[in-house]
Amino acid sequence: MTAILNPAIKHYEWGDIVALPDLLGLPRDNQPWAELWFGTHPDGPSTLKTGNGVAPLKNITGDLSFLLKLIAVAKPLSLQTHPNTAQALAGFDRENSLGINRTATNRIYKDEAAKPELLCAISEFKMLCGFAPVGESLARADQNGWHELAEQLQSNGLEATVRWALKKTSHQDLQNLPQHLHALASLYPNSGGVIVAILMNHVVLKPGDAIYLEPGNVHSYLGGMAVEVMTSSDNVMRAAFTTKHIDIDEFFATASFNPETPRSVTPPESSNIVSAFKIPSAPFSVERLHVTNDISVSAEHDAEIYLCVQGRAGELRQGQACVLRRGENLNLTGPSIVFRVWGDPTN
């Protein structure tokens, strides 16, 4: 019998009250279902049934180096970034030495891991990702009459302009905002975060499209459903758009202000069952299986998680995941789409 995982369910305020319950075939309960965590991170460990009852996944696999999530975004997430390994190690030690409890609301570094992320859209997915070229932002500011923003960019550059936007207590609401920022401006009037959002790339992923976020990438998710794969980490530096703890100084210490083109890693269209996401630097590997007929897969690594996101794949229903140990087999049926994830700690 396949070991079906019980995920940790996260009811964050930005979650969707409909999307995840419907995907799982569960009744709606008017709570915002934001994330399902499949992994061993202490802030949301998965469990599974064994011959002796219910056990933590960690008891079967040990600590996994990766974390797999299903997310459903109905309201914008915080403007945030994540640390690299050196920053995570130093920050974790620093907060320990200050005596900040690991579960405290003002704790930033929950663990010692960097937090690169792969996001693959299940529905249309909208996000802000990295900073646009300064020249483009200047032209947009001039065109729309955002004179103070243009002056800041021209005189002080990108990072100083972001600092001005976030440090200033209140800003006048800007006119002529692009459509994708209307919800942010309505939810967070007079916020410098909206000014920062103007300077960022607006990305819309179609179902199946994927993007890779290196540590330091500044981003905010605006809406949609997606699969997220990351290291087993919950280190988040927030700067705006949230009621959670904000630390502007730590945000600037970890954020990248190099304008960049978002890093698409969508596999090319293929007639093969397996589509691999090629990310040489990532400490995890991800494949998407387009199952049309009955197939059998075998785990080639110490621990692999399989997550069905569409259809029914044999014993895996839509929204369910299971774990396989090296050499164990799983029979899949179609039509269905299943993600396969494993850790690669050598990267």
Q: Domain map of the chain by residue range? A: 76-266, 274-343
pLDDT of residue 1: 62
Q: What superfamily in CATH does domain 274-343 come from?
A: Jelly Rolls (2.60.120.10)
- Is beta strand 219-231 parallel, antiparallel or unpaired with respect to 35-38? unpaired
CATH number, domain 76-266, options 3.30.160, 3.30.1450, 3.30.1360, 2.60.120: 2.60.120
Query: What span, in angstroms and rounded, lies between the C-alpha atoms of 133 and 150?
Result: 13
> Is the confidence at residue 115, as pLDDT, over 90?
yes
pLDDT of residue 162: 98
> Is the confidence at residue 317, as pLDDT, over 60?
yes
Query: What span, in angstroms and rounded, lies between the C-alpha atoms of 242 and 11?
Result: 14
Instruction: Say how many C-beta atoms besides its own lie within 10 A of residue 203's C-beta.
Output: 22
pLDDT band at 346 (very low <50, low <70, confident <90, very high): low
- Please state the pTM of the whole predicted model: 0.95
Query: What are the DSSP calls for 221-258, one per residue?
Result: EEEEEEEEEEES----EEEES-SS---HHHHHHH---S
Instruction: Say how many C-beta atoms besides its own lie within 10 A of residue 107's C-beta.
Output: 18
pLDDT band at 347 (very low <50, low <70, confident <90, very high): low
Query: What span, in angstroms and rounded, lies between the C-alpha atoms of 161 and 131?
Result: 12
Q: Angle, nearest 10°, between helix axes 147-156 and 158-167?
A: 130
pLDDT of residue 253: 97
Phi and psi of 239, rounded to 5°? -130, -20
pLDDT of residue 51: 76
Query: What span, in angstroms and rounded, lies between the C-alpha atoms of 70 and 24?
Result: 11
> Is the confidence at residue 16, as pLDDT, over 60?
yes
pLDDT digits (tens, 9 = 90+) for 158-207: 999 999 999 988 898 899 999 999 999 999 999 999 999 999 999 999 99
More confident residue, 1 or 65: 65
Query: What span, in angstroms and rounded, lies between the C-alpha atoms of 135 and 138?
Result: 5
> Is the confidence at residue 114, as pLDDT, over 60?
yes
> Is the confidence at residue 263, as pLDDT, over 60?
yes
Percent of the chain with pLDDT over 90: 90
pLDDT band at 344 (very low <50, low <70, confident <90, very high): confident
pLDDT of residue 268: 81
**Closest among 342, 345, 346, 303 to 68, alpha carbons compared:** 342
pLDDT of residue 315: 87
Query: What span, in angstroms and rounded, lies between the C-alpha atoms of 55 and 66?
Result: 19
Is there a contact between 153 and 138 (Cβ–Cβ < 8 Å)? yes
Give me 178's structure tokens.
């692009």
Q: Following CA atoms 242, 244, 247, 252 in sequence, which dihedral angle do they give, to the nearest 10 degrees?
A: -50
Matching CATH topology for 76-266 and 274-343? yes
pLDDT digits (tens, 9 = 90+) for 2-14: 789 999 999 999 9
pLDDT digits (tens, 9 = 90+) for 196-246: 999 999 999 999 999 999 999 999 999 999 999 999 999 999 999 999 999
Q: For residue 304, list its beta bridge partners.
A: 324, 342
